[in-house]
Structures are given as structure tokens and as C-alpha cells.
Amino acid sequence: MRVLVLSDIHANLTALEAVLADAGDTDEIWCLGDLVGYGPDPNEVVERMRAMPHLTCMLGNHDVAAMGGMEMEVFNTEARRSLQWQKKTITEDTLNYLKSLPDQTIIKQGVSLVHGSPRDPVWEYILNTLVARLNFAAFETDFCFVGHTHNQCMFKLDTKRDRVSLEIPKPGVVLEMTSRAIFNPGSVGQPRDRDPRAAYAIYDVEKQTWEPRRVEYDILAVQKRIRDAGLPDKHAARLAEGW
């Protein structure tokens, strides 16, 4: 069974369409949250995703904020401006769909799925080996898939040496999943690992492999929609360089 694993679409329909086309046919889609926020297409992204068959989707922190379930002060100035626009723009159907999404860890095919971390499924960032080590104790499956950081990476636990390592896999290289690990597919709509291409991954359940992927999309078109909507220019500019 082939699973499309994606996260942090952030209202970027153009990037999402590129990922869906590049991934081809898959048996399931696992989305790790943050459908909205930052980008110009919140309703279109939610409509596209909710129509996908065999979808499992988590709730992300920007989704929570757009629903009014989180104080805006926890976000920086630009993110706050974007979320205020999102709250005014999203439809009742979009809002109801976001409210239906789970905010706790889900286990699918023996894999733990969260947006942030097993310890804090919505908010905590796993950015380094220390935080990763603390989170290995918070889930019982061999693998955990997370989003939130917008970085395509993985943390591996070597139980014999009691060591956690951070690895940045090369896109397109199929990796054998041989040890306990936390995998991040990266961000579809706003990568922050200096690669502006939309990021995602393919998980093969039977073969136990993980393939991180990147795909180019029409960044200029998305930048124009961001600026035309009056959203922060920073959110348009950063798309071109992936920061």
C-alpha cells in the first residue's frame, strides 16, 4: 500500500495540485495538518482535500487559530495578520470541516500521526535531537510522522547506542525504515529548508520504505494572489527561496 504523506499546505492550492499530480495514484492520503494560514486559498485547499478519497487529516495550529480556538498573540505579527484575513475569508463549510479534524495522535497502519509532536500534537516543534529524544518516549509505534516545522527531515533512534540522530534525506531516494524514527515530509505550501519546491513523501506500508519528494510549482502565481489579497509581502517573498 502506497500512502501520500503531506503537511502544512497553508492555503497554497497551486503547490497542493503540483504535489497531487507528482505523487500519482496512491491508496491513502495522510495529511498532518495546517490546511490554512499564510496562503491565499484556504477554502479552495480545504475543498480539494476533503474531496480526496481515503483521506486522514490532522488538525494543525493554524487550523485551530483560524477556528478561533487559539490566542492570536502566540503568532508573530505577519502570521497574525494572515490569520485574521483567513478568519474573515473562510466559509462556514471550511470552518465546519476544520472543526471535525482530530487534535490528538492517530495511529494508522502502525504509525503515529500528529501535527506537532506526540507530546503536544498541535503545537510543539521537533527541531532538534533533544526534543526528538523526549518525544520517542511519548509514542509506542516504531514510527511517527510529524509536520509543523516545514523541514523535510527525520530523527532516528539507535537503541543500542542510545543515540538520536537528525538526518536530511535526499529527495527521490527511497529509504528503508529499519529503526524507530520520526519522519517529517516537509511543507507543501511554505517550505523553510531553503528548497522552495513543494515537499511531501511516499510511505510504502508493505515494503516499509519512505521516499521524500520535491516538486516545482508556479510560485509567481501564488505570490501574485498573496499580494492581491493584501496579505503580508513576507509570505509571498519567502516562497521563492524556501525560508
Res. 73: pLDDT tops 80: no
Reported confidence tier of residue 189, pLDDT bands at 50, 70, 90: very high
Percent of the chain exceeding pLDDT 70 equals 100
Q: Is this model's pTM higher than 0.85 or not?
A: yes
Reported confidence tier of residue 140, pLDDT bands at 50, 70, 90: very high
**What's the total number of domains in the chain?**
1
Can you read off the three cell numbers belonging to residue 35? 490546511
pLDDT of 37: 94
pLDDT of 167: 97
pLDDT of 109: 97
pLDDT digits (tens, 9 = 90+) for 97-135: 999 999 999 999 999 999 999 999 999 999 999 999 999
pLDDT of 204: 98
Percent of the chain exceeding pLDDT 90 equals 93
pLDDT of 151: 98
What's the average model confidence in pLDDT over 199-215? 98
Question: What is the domain range of residue 170?
Answer: 2-240
pLDDT of 135: 98
pLDDT of 72: 73
pLDDT digits (tens, 9 = 90+) for 4-16: 999 999 999 999 9
pLDDT of 69: 80
Q: What CATH code is carried by the domain that includes residue 144? A: 3.60.21.10
What's the average model confidence in pLDDT over 63-69? 91
pLDDT digits (tens, 9 = 90+) for 15-62: 999 999 999 999 999 999 999 999 999 999 999 999 999 999 999 999
Mean pLDDT, the chain, rounded, equals 96
